[in-house]
Amino acid sequence: MEKYIKENANDVVHHLEYNAERPHLIIPEYGRHLQKLIDQATEIADRDERNKAAKYIIQVMGSLNPHLRDVPDFQHKLWDQIFIMSDFRLDVDSPYPVPTREVINLKPERLAYPQKNPKYRFYGNNIKYMINVANSWEEGEMKSALVKVIANHMKKSYLSWNKDTVTDAVIFEHLLELSDGKLNLLQSSEELLTTTDIMRTNKKTSNKNMPQNAKIKNNKNGKKPFVKNNNKNPK
């Protein structure tokens, strides 16, 4: 039995390994020990032994994420990650297509903004899409019904942002302008929903969005309602 040799404290401190001096972790979430396992598996000369090591590492990676076992394509994701962490140097038989550096670093195409500076922002971009669809339809009952739906939605949007009354003529003028003069209701006898009906609908919608723990009750005199919050701690 070899005799125990006491280490020199100065030598231990001198040979400490700092993270700044260690190799960069490609996926830090898995930790340095798993990164070292992948590096060791990459250096194995025998292909069969290298395949066994890769499958063992995949099992370890799966055990680190038990909440993802039921996620579709979870194994596919693990195999992609093991190739990425090996800096694409691991040569093993994968049950899935082996990713390449070019595919991983591929940048998505820039998305085009639908509209930069709309004149009537309170209508939103969806109204413009609906108007374009209505312009592409042939004349008939279906198109007339769609145009009326668009006009009512425009009035509702107008009143949601501008807490004031608005006439149908104003909505028809905006519709005519946004449709490039193709949807003209100025001379028609169409009547949109009244401001009272729209405001009542908006009020019902806002009440549905209230927290469930807040209840509105009337006081004894029935003058003003008050809100009672059940989560409020008594003093």
10-residue mean pLDDT series, the chain (235 residues)? 68 73 87 92 94 94 81 88 94 92 86 71 84 90 91 88 81 90 84 78 58 50 50 49
b/e for 119-158, b at 16 or more Cβ within 10 A?
A: eeeebbeebbebbeebeeeeeeeebeebbbebbbbbbbbb
| Domain spans of the chain, in order of start | 24-104, 121-205
Other CB atoms within 10 Å distance of the CB of residue 51: 16
Write down the pTM of the prediction.
Answer: 0.47
How far apart CA 199 and CA 197 sit, in angstroms, is 6
> What pLDDT does residue 134 have?
92
Model pLDDT, residue 92: 94
Supply the pLDDT for residue 85.
94
Question: What is the reported pLDDT for 235?
Answer: 44
| pLDDT value of position 215 | 46
Question: Distance between CA atoms of 178 and 180, rounded to whole angstroms?
Answer: 6
